[in-house]
Amino acid sequence: KNSHKLQQYSTDIDKTVNVMKKLERSMDDIKTSMNNMDSENPLEDLGESSNKAESSIASVVNSITNLAGVSKTAAAAIATIFTSGIVSGAISYDKAIESLRINLGLTEKDAKSLYDQIKLIADDGYSLEGVTQATTLLQKRFKLSNQETKDLAQSMELLDKMGYDMNDTVRFMTSAVNDWGMTHREALDMIIAGEQEGLNISNDWLDSLVEYTPILSTLGIEAKDALALISEGVNATGLSSDQASDMIKEFFLSLTDGSDTSKDAFKDLGINIDNLKKQIDDGSITSIDALKKVSKAIMKVGDDTERARLLQEIFKGTVEYGSEGVIQAWANLDRKSVV
């Protein structure tokens, strides 16, 4: 569902169509027209050399002029379309094959076989170059079926158009699979969900996922809870996703570090830190429930100086982000918003 929404979104931004298919139609039109000019096809010999990417626009113009007897102006018009086909076709093909061989250590035969799969993906309207890059990264890191590779590569190519670096996307996918036990599809859907919820307003959503996923998962925070808390922090207060993630990290570090400072801060709020951790561990409450409980207790502290002290003890340096607004938002977080 998210993948479909993303494709629609990308289509709204980028109205381009499949360039390779258009060039193929242009090539057919040119050859048909030229065939009608003489009994011989003046593009036949030229086509053979062009398919090997050996002809420049200038040489194509000269060849068409000599063979067909047309003016250089007309020849130039034909050559421009024809050599565009070469650049997007033969040259890109050779470059793609060589890239696959180098990056994946494939034989030429295997590289061509993989390229055929990539071409099928790109034929659905996706950038050939983008899909090739995505497929190469997926093949390097994961063992996936052809269908999984196709689905992921298409989504990655669309995300790349929106500024989500493919290498960082694969880094997050790796962490999400290893640390959160997500599927590759679920990892991409989390990126997409964040984009849809406005978490990339500071252009740092993917960076935040790459940086904080290993940390938050180690602290026992599930992916869906992390997404809900970050989303609430960003949308309720205007924090960046990095700042919201940093605050969440500091809270759970204080909860689990075992220091007297942290224990005393929770005690001053009327909360037994050991009991709170035990409730999270046995599943009687979630990470969100814990943060919500503490946030409510902080916002009930009437003295401004005392409240500021407790915020500093629990959230450390992240209080500089203007944290009271997000603490209030987390205190009021509706569990229905956690998907």
Rounded to an integer, the average pLDDT of 128-141 is 78
Give pLDDT tens digits for 288-339: 999 999 999 999 999 999 999 999 999 998 888 866 889 999 999 875 444 4
Q: Enter the pTM of the model.
A: 0.65
Query: What is the distance between the alpha carbons of residues 100 and 199, in angstroms, rounded to a whole number?
Result: 34
Query: What is the distance between the alpha carbons of residues 118 and 332, in angstroms, rounded to a whole number?
Result: 48
Contact call for residues 166 and 138 (beta carbons, < 8 A):
no
Q: Residue 324 corresponds to which tokens in the numbers above?
A: 């009271």
The pLDDT value recorded for residue 157 is: 87
Give pLDDT tens digits for 49-102: 334 333 434 444 444 444 444 444 444 444 443 344 433 444 356 666 666 666
SS3 of the chain: helix, strand, coil, percent, to 5 = 75, 0, 25
The pLDDT value recorded for residue 28 is: 52
The pLDDT value recorded for residue 91 is: 39
User: Residue 69: how many CB atoms within 10 A of its CB?
Assistant: 11
Going by C-alpha positions, the residue among 195, 148, 201, 134 that lies closest to residue 7 is 195
Query: What is the distance between the alpha carbons of residues 151 and 177, in angstroms, rounded to a whole number?
Result: 17
Calculate the alpha carbon distances from 282 to 47, 71, 287 in Å. 71, 83, 12
DSSP 268-336: HTT--HHHHHHHHHTTSS-HHHHHHHHHHHHHT---HHHHHHHHHHHHGGGGGGTTHHHHHHHHT--GG
Going by C-alpha positions, the residue among 90, 112, 91 that lies closest to residue 101 is 112
Question: How confident is residue 10, by pLDDT bands cut at 50, 70 and 90?
Answer: very low
Contact call for residues 2 and 197 (beta carbons, < 8 A):
no
Whether pLDDT at 43 is above 70: no
Question: How confident is residue 154, by pLDDT bands cut at 50, 70 and 90?
Answer: confident
Question: How confident is residue 106, by pLDDT bands cut at 50, 70 and 90?
Answer: confident
